[in-house]
Structure formats: structure tokens, C-alpha cells
Structure 1
């Protein structure tokens, strides 16, 4: 497996473009609500208002996270993106609660929407725009390892689910004459949004808690060590953590007791270059120890390393 180095210009440009897109979609949805008076469409519009706030937050956090390391933040500012993603998850939950509040009141005084065809057409247009944009953000966020961009994409995709549910519900309400379907559907959609918010928050908290590399990434690191550790006897205590686009990897490298510092250094340089080619943005710390040393009384040898 080989990951791709982040293109900071792509990440920043997409984050910036999210702002006018979210504002335009919110305008369409609020216009659809104004035309119809539907509480479900109002709820959809309220979620889009949260999207605007989230897009603004994501843009400024992404710019901050891409700052180079400084004296106060010597490992960089990468984790700021996780903060943005957590806040965005909270905003998703807030949007769901706002929807439930609006729909709850309408349950006791339901009414069929006015001009439903025009309102649904406007809302459908907004949903299509959101679906295309959310797909772009999620793909780019994963490819560029941007938690903030990915969270923004999932947030917008939850909005698409909302719009689809509202569309179906309003059609049923109009054709059956059961006006209560409008607020009932809004509540059901709100619970789906709550679930999306939970997933965004839990994933982002994993990053803030120094979650290790993904299993396939760690496997790639081990394979790379095996292929480029000629001259060494083995490694142990391999540890890693992911911080947005950055990865931090450290391990102990066991070498023959009589090996010179220069030769051990050459092996470390070779390993660093090979691992950085597989995990772009990685920062490595390799502790060299002579044969006979044992971490915690036991050396754990990476399978396939020289004996």
C-alpha cells in the first residue's frame, strides 16, 4: 500500500469553495420553505444553515493546520483539523435537534404544504448540488488525509439524505392527504442525522487520542522495514500515530554489537527514505541498540528481517 502526499492547495481550495456552495444551497432550501410553508423543508433549510457555519470553520481551521512547525508546536499544527471535525460533528447533532424541535410543534398542527411541486423541484436541485459536492469532498478528504474536509463531506451527505427523505415524505403527504407525514418524516430524518454526527465525532476523537496508523498502513511499514533493513538483526517496539496528513513512527533497530555508528546510520537513512516513500508526511524516530539489548526483557523481531 502506498499513500499519497497531501496537496495543500487542493485541500484549501476545496474548503474555500465549500463556503459559497453551502450558502447557495441554503438559499435554495429556504426559498423552497418560503414557497411551501413545509416544516420538513424548513428543517432541511436549518441543517443547511449549519453547513454554512461548518464550511467557514473548516476553511479557517484547515489553513491553520497547514502552518509549518514552530517553537510552540514543534510537531506541526495537524491536529487542529480533528478539532474542526469534532465541532462539525457537534453542529450536525445541533442541526438534528433543531429539526426535532421544529417538527415536534408541527405534529400537533399539521398542514399540507402550499405549491408542493415548485418547492420540491427547488429542494431537489439543492440536493443534487449537495450530493455532487459532498462526493467530491469525501473523496478528496480521504485522498489528502484531511479530517476536516472529510467531515465536511459527510456532513453535507447527511444533508442529502435529509433532502431525499423530505422529498419522499412530502410526496406521500400530498398524495394521501395525511399532513402529519410532513413532521413525522422530519423527525425520522433527524435521527439519521444524529447517527451521522455521532460517527463524525467518534472518528475525530480517535485522531485527537493519537490513534495508530490504519492496519494496512502499518503492514506496509513492516514490509518496507523487512525489505530495506539489510545489515540489521531485527526491530521491536514499532509504534505509530496519525495526526491528519502527518504520521509519526518510531521503533528500535537492533544491530550487531560491533557495527560502527556510521554503518548503523546508513541503515537508518535507508529505512527512513523507504518508509517516507510509502507513508508521505511521516516523521520517524529510530532508536539504534546493539545486539544483546532487550526492551522490557524481550526483543520482538519483525517477520522477514535479517537474522
Structure 2
């Protein structure tokens, strides 16, 4: 089942907003880094630069995944979301390691690194935090409405970006107020650790989907519960699910009374399918009808 037209428009709006926001943040933080030479700002800039690459790839994945099924892709193109999310996790991992190594090298250097133009840097980073917060709010709304994994993963990136931004603000303020230059590298290390955890979470989810992992247990139990109590269904078996992007593919065998007409059997199966789709809107449901043997 492909995304509805309203859901596709929401996904597209989130992708475009993400790319535009990332480009703005890169420009703002590049200027702040040039003015302050703060490694915490560099960490936040690197995170935003990664976000820009990821957001562009995510937008492409959203556009591709929205394509309807065709002769070569009978189950649609939603796995593109998982491929994009897996690629996102790899890029985040690499950037986090670079930031961590840079922070450690600065910490072991003799003498504290002196930051410059802290006030200007604080202003820029505050603006960046406000812009990022607005994007996170919109992406969260879209992800809840459509279930799109690329939007959800992109939102996690920006939540992760917001924390280093706030850390950079704190580092610049502490450096200006108390002359604590080394706090900058410590904040950068914390930001790198958060990025690593986010990369692991996103990558694992995408990997599981690409390996045809079953839907979450509560979803499977919800489908089973609907089927178990559906009028006319004497039993069911071989309930199988797999995920791809935001979609859940459901394959189900139901057992029906063999004395009823084909039309009656079809109506029971069709009504059950409608009920499952109402409970799990992004599902693609195939129901096989077997004769109940008692």
C-alpha cells in the first residue's frame, strides 16, 4: 500500500524543509567557526554538514519510495527508505569519529586553546538552535502522521544536532566568562558520543528492515486479535509479516466454513482486510482462505 496523496505531500514538505534548514545551519555555523575557532562549534558544523548530505539523500529516497508499484517492483519502492537510513548511519558514524579524534588531540596538546569572538558565536548558535527546534517539531508531526522512516531518522539527526548546538553555546559562554577553553573539547567529545549512539540506533533499525524482520510484536498481536474474533473466521494460521520503510507486509491464512458460498467467503476476507488496514494504515495485506477442518 503506497502513501496517500496527503501523506506523500507531508513527507515531501519535511524533506524540503530538512534540506533548506541544513543549508542555512551550515552557512551560519561556518561563519561562527571562522569567528571563534571553537571545536565545539566545529562539531556542530560537522553534524549539520552531515545532515545536509543526509537530508538531500533522504529527500531523494522519499521521492523514490513514493513511486507506486510497477512490473519490476511489485511490492513498491519503500525499501529505499531503509537503504537511505542505513547510509545515513554510516556517514554519522564517520563524522562522529573524526570529531572525537580532533577533540582528544586538542585535549592532549600542551596549553589551553583560546577561543575568539565568543559573543558573536553564541548569537549564531542560538539562532541555529531555534531553527533546528522548529524543524524537529515539523518532522515529528509528519513522522507521527505518515510513519515515514526517512523523516523519523532525519528528525533523530536534528535532535542529535540540537544537543551539540546547545553544548557549543555553553562552551562559548564558559570560555568567555571563566576562560575555560578546554571545556570546548569536552563538549565536542560528548556530542560525538551522542552521534555514535544515534548512528547505531538508526543503522540497526534500517538493517533489520532490509533483512525482512517481522513487524513489532504489538502490531502482530493486534492483527491476530482482530482475526481471532472476526465473525465467520473459524481459525487462522501462518500469520507472517515483514517491514520495508514505513510499510508492513502481512500474509495471513484464515479458515472458513466450507459450506458457505464463494461470495460469502470473499466478503468475510474483504471485511477482515479492511479492519486490519484501519488498525494498521500502512499495511499491505494478503489473506488466503482455507477450508476449516474442525
Q: TM-score of the superposition, structure 2-length normalised?
A: 0.91
Partners of 2:258 and 2:36 in 1: how far apart? Answer: 80
From the superposition, tell whether residues 184 and 231 of structure 1 become closer, same or farther in structure 2 (CA, over 3 Å): closer
Structure 2 unmatched runs, 5+: none
- Hey, what does 2:202 align to over in structure 1? 200
- Hey, what does 2:234 align to over in structure 1? 233
Asked if the contact 1:40/1:166 (under 8 Å) is kept, the reply is yes
How many aligned residue pairs are there?
289
- Hey, what does 2:125 align to over in structure 1? 123
- State which drifts further: 12-21 or 57-66: 12-21
- Hey, what does 2:54 align to over in structure 1? 54
SS in 1 for 2:70: coil
- Hey, what does 2:75 align to over in structure 1? 75
Give CA deviations for 1:32-83 in whole Å, capped at 9, x if unaligned.
Answer: 1111111221221121111110111000111001111111111000111011
How far apart are residue 176 of structure 1 and its match?
Answer: 3.0
How far apart are residue 191 of structure 1 and its match?
Answer: 1.1
Partners of 2:175 and 2:22 in 1: how far apart? Answer: 28
RMSD between aligned residues? 2.0
- Hey, what does 2:86 align to over in structure 1? 86
- State which drifts further: 109-118 or 4-13: 4-13
Give 1:1-307 correspondences, 5 Å limit. 7-107=7-107, 108=109, 110-227=112-229, 229-292=230-293
Asked if the contact 1:103/1:187 (under 8 Å) is kept, the reply is yes
- State which drifts further: 255-264 or 13-22: 255-264
- Hey, what does 1:302 align to over in structure 2? none
Partners of 2:285 and 2:117 in 1: how far apart? Answer: 62
From the superposition, tell whether residues 187 and 231 of structure 1 become closer, same or farther in structure 2 (CA, over 3 Å): closer
Partners of 1:190 and 1:137 in 2: how far apart? Answer: 23
**Aligned structure 1 segments of 4 or more residues deviating by more than 6 angstroms:** none
SS in 1 for 2:115: coil
Partners of 1:221 and 1:196 in 2: how far apart? Answer: 31
From the superposition, tell whether residues 20 and 199 of structure 1 become closer, same or farther in structure 2 (CA, over 3 Å): same
How far apart are residue 232 of structure 1 and its match?
Answer: 2.7
Asked if the contact 1:170/1:182 (under 8 Å) is kept, the reply is yes
